[in-house]
Amino acid sequence: MLNVFWIVITLNILGLRDNILLSNLKKQIIDCTLCPRLLQYSTNIGRIKTKRFANEQYWSRPVPSFGDPRAEVLIIGLAPAAHGGNRTGRMFTGDSSGDWLIKALYESKFANIQTSDHKDDGLVLSNVYITSVVRCAPPNNLPLGSEIENCSEYLLKELQVLKAIRIVLTLGLVAFHTYRRVCHLEPVTFSHGKTYSIDKNITLVASYHPSKQNTNTGRLTWKMWTSIFRTIRLLLISESD
Ligand code: SF4
């Protein structure tokens, strides 16, 4: 009985320590100045704004990751959108990619609400953590190789702290190859909907990014998109057997 008591105490202490590490990492990201080109672009976007958000105060800084610190599913996007995450200060919030992602997460019971409008909208993710290749909005959604390299350090640190991760969902080609490179995996070909066994603990799931370029052109349909989350649910069930 006493052993059980100490196991519970130890697990709580480790959980607390990981929460502190993640929270410190978020602070470090928000203050990061490694990519002057991206910081300049994010600031300019927030100054010029766009007509429909003309009265809003833009975040215009690096956007930290968010979600459940004990998540088994890690989602890696590309970058905050200029008038989405760069405006609201939360990834996949306030833009059409966020609409697609959070609705699908809600329908597959990973989120408590089906919209992602602003940081204080009450959205809570369950068993999912969301991060991205770069944390600052890039011009034309195209980060440079050096910027991806700089920001990969944060992804690596997140992977070290998020010890429960069993499934990694990469959104788009850049996220797919960045995760592969950060984890020193052999080159593999990207294919939407395909799953890749990384080791005995982790499965990589590849998807197109739910950007407007993909959803408006039909390259990524709602059916294809929700099927990705059904696959993830099935993987979680089968791996816990
Ligand atoms: S993209 Fe990443 S590494 Fe570059 S400034 Fe933003 S947070 Fe820092």
DSSP states of 23-71: HHHHHHHHT--S-HHHHHHHHHHHHH--GGGTTS----SPPPPEE-TT-
Query: What one-character-per-residue DSSP string does 95-158 give?
Result: SHHHHHHHHHHHHTTSBSSS---STTS---BSSEEEEES-SSPPGGG---HHHHHHHHHHHHHH
Which residue has a Cα nearest atom 6 of ligand 1? 136
| Cα 166 → chain centroid | 15
Written as tens digits, the pLDDT of the chain (241 aa) is 557 666 666 656 667 888 999 999 999 999 999 999 999 999 999 999 999 999 999 999 999 999 999 999 999 999 999 999 999 999 999 999 999 999 999 999 999 999 999 999 999 999 999 999 999 999 999 999 999 999 999 999 999 999 999 999 999 999 999 999 999 999 999 999 999 999 989 999 999 999 999 999 999 999 999 999 999 999 999 866 6
Please tell me the distance from the alpha carbon of residue 135 to that of residue 30, in angstroms, as a whole number.
9
What letter represents residue 211's amino acid? S
What is the pLDDT at residue 8?
60
**Residue 2 CA, ligand 1 centroid: distance in Å:** 46
What total number of domains does the chain contain?
1
Q: Which protein residues are within 6 Å of ligand 1, measured from CB?
A: 29, 32, 34-35, 38-39, 62, 134-136, 147, 150-151
| CATH number, domain containing residue 107 | 3.40.470.10
Domain encompassing residue 83? 2-240
What is the pLDDT at residue 15?
74
What is the pLDDT at residue 238?
87
Q: What is the pTM of this model?
A: 0.94
Which residue has a Cα nearest atom 3 of ligand 1? 151
